Copies of this chain bind each other. A is one copy, B any other.
Amino acid sequence: MRLSQMLFVTLREDPAEAEIPSHKLLLRAGYIRRIAGGVYAYLPLMWRVLQKVSQIVREEMAAAGAQECLLPQLQPAELWRESGRWDTYTKAEGIMFSLVDRQQREMGLGPTHEEVITAIARDMVRSYRQLPVTLYQIQTKFRDEIRPRFGLMRGREFIMKDAYSFDADEAGLKQNYAKMHTAYCNILNRCGLAFRAVDADSGAIGGSGSQEFMVLADAGEDEVLYTEDGKYSANVEKAVSLPPAAEASPFKTYEKLETPGTETIARLSQLLKCSPTAIVKNVLYQAVFDSGRVVLVLISLRGDQEVNDVKLQNELTKLADQYGGKTVLSLTVPDAEAQAKWATKPLPLGYIAPNLDDAYIKAPKPMPAGQVAVNPVTPKFLRLVDQTVVDLAHFITGSNESGYHVVGANWGKEFELPKLVVDVRKAIAGDRALHDATQTLQTARGIEIGHIFQLGTKYSEALGATYTNEQGEEKPLVMGCYGVGVSRLAQAAVEQSYDKDGIVWTTAIAPYQAIVVIPDIAKADQVKAAEALYDELSQAGIETLLDDRNERAGVKFKDADLIGIPYRIVTGRSLQQGKVEVVKRATKEAQEVLVEDVVPMLKQWLAEKD
């Protein structure tokens, strides 16, 4: 491709809209243009990168036995109502764009395709003899992000590869899941990315287990915790660990003490001269279930620990059927306005005890017989206790009276231990690993570019997608789903590989592998040599750009560095010795090479990279 014929414009200044290096560089180097918030046009150079990533994805999907298809982006609301996700996705979380067509039928723009693919499987899969089968697609998806940002990292329109496996049983699913795990590692390795596969929360997708593939980068939105021995890594949302051991409580006798101004653990431990690890703190949450029920949750955990909202939400989801629902729509710490709706009197905030009285909650309004209560608030605290406090003795905690705490308290004596013991604490760097207490958790930032899920039968049961097994019994299909953010991966590659002059692509996903630069197009010998090299390189199957623009040499060198083509060939002064300059973009290492050696040398370099 001749640069003179390409729609190619670079910017000298960092665009105001961009915050992180990869976003700035893709804009400056003319790869993308913003059309609306979180919505970008992929210009020709970017499109080539995306095609290269897609091709690697296709090859690895084929190797994993998956077949390519293309599913609709417009999805009927009915399918999402069957899975129970329509309201969550369009209203509660609101991340699915929705519209009504001219017949006033509701439709969503697909952020994911579990419903559609399950409906197809319901229609087409009858027998165990058709299993296993895995389908995938590479497609533009949509999410109405609350805060689209970082360019292609968190866009509202983005390219995904999503795959869905169907198996007869859990064993089959595990095999497919393992194949996809391998495929994902291969994809990231082939793209030349440093990454980590981590245990992850399954979120709104659901299922029994999932892992994320994190490209490591400081600008990553996710935090990863891992151990040096390589045996554990997890998203902080999911991570488990042993917290530091608790220190003994200095109070051996139960008593109530006046502790004014100790609404925080820091102040309380300072006043009482005790470790935060000897304190039981009691945190109030308000959960709204999809059934409409509002449940007040009182969590007791160790004073030095924080609640991991994702873990707590998962624990509550397990209890959803008790509240007539399937899932938690929202989980918040109730503010004064929220409290006013259900509290009978001001709460002793900062001094709450594990046994806060249910009388703080208004009873449902009595209604005539046969009608349902108007007040959706469940008039009883749901009491949960984190593992960290179960073994504490003589602990310090609230007294349910503002300005007072109790000390020297014990479970089974002054306080009943809540029945529901859970792990909802946030693991942090420095915690001990569960698999080996000598390993401490390390922290890193990551960009999630892949997520694989063992869905199980969540969608097949909801939509009635069954098959007949060898014994003639009807069974729900066992599913997995597997996503890669193709456009996000491409930008993550930049975030991991750039320098002060611009992007440094790996040869695997660079838009072109080589660029031939004519320093001065007024010089016939430079043009002639460059044109010849351009032809030779192209004929040798090396994707080559020719910078034949009427620009100064300095501009051309700057642009070549900015767009990040791996190998630059300059037909400059050394032509008189029959040589050209060959520069490696990554290292800036330059050498004078005989013209006839250029193609063999580049072929060898490219072969080594493969």
Write the residues of chain A forming the contact surface with B, with a CB cutoff of 8 angstroms.
Answer: 1, 4-7, 9, 30, 33, 35-37, 39-44, 46-48, 50, 65, 67-76, 79, 94, 97-99, 101-103, 105, 107, 109, 116, 119-120, 123-126, 129-130, 133, 135, 140, 142, 144, 146, 156-157, 550
Contact = CB atoms under 8 A, between A and B. Distances in A.
30 contacts: A1-B67, A5-B133, A6-B133, A7-B124, A7-B125, A7-B135, A30-B124, A35-B71, A35-B72, A35-B119, A36-B75, A36-B105, A39-B72, A41-B69, A41-B71, A42-B71, A44-B67, A44-B69, A44-B135, A48-B68, A50-B70, A70-B140, A73-B140, A74-B142, A94-B102, A98-B99, A99-B99, A99-B109, A102-B144, A102-B146
A39 B144 contact: no
A330 B202 CA distance: 51
Contacts of A65: 5
Given A7-B124, A7-B133, A157 B74 contact: yes
Contacts of A41: 69-72, 116, 120
Given A6-B67, A7-B133, A72 B40 contact: yes
Given A30-B124, A44-B69, A99-B99, 13 more contacts: A7-B125, A9-B124, A9-B126, A33-B120, A35-B72, A36-B74, A36-B107, A44-B67, A46-B69, A72-B157, A74-B142, A98-B99, A129-B550
Contacts of A140: 70, 73, 140
A478 to B, nearest CB: 16
Query: How many copies altogether?
Result: 2
A73 B70 contact: no
Contacts of A94: 102
A129 B3 CA distance: 12
A40 B74 CA distance: 9
Q: Which of A44, A74, A130 has the most CB of B within 10 A?
A: A74
A70 B158 CA distance: 11
Nearest to A108: B99
A33 B39 CA distance: 30
Contacts of A67: 1, 6-7, 44
A47 B70 contact: yes
A444 to B, nearest CB: 32
**4 pairs of A and B residues whose beta carbons are closest in the complex:** A99-B99, A44-B67, A42-B70, A36-B76
Nearest to A48: B68
Contacts of A7: 67, 124-125, 130, 133, 135
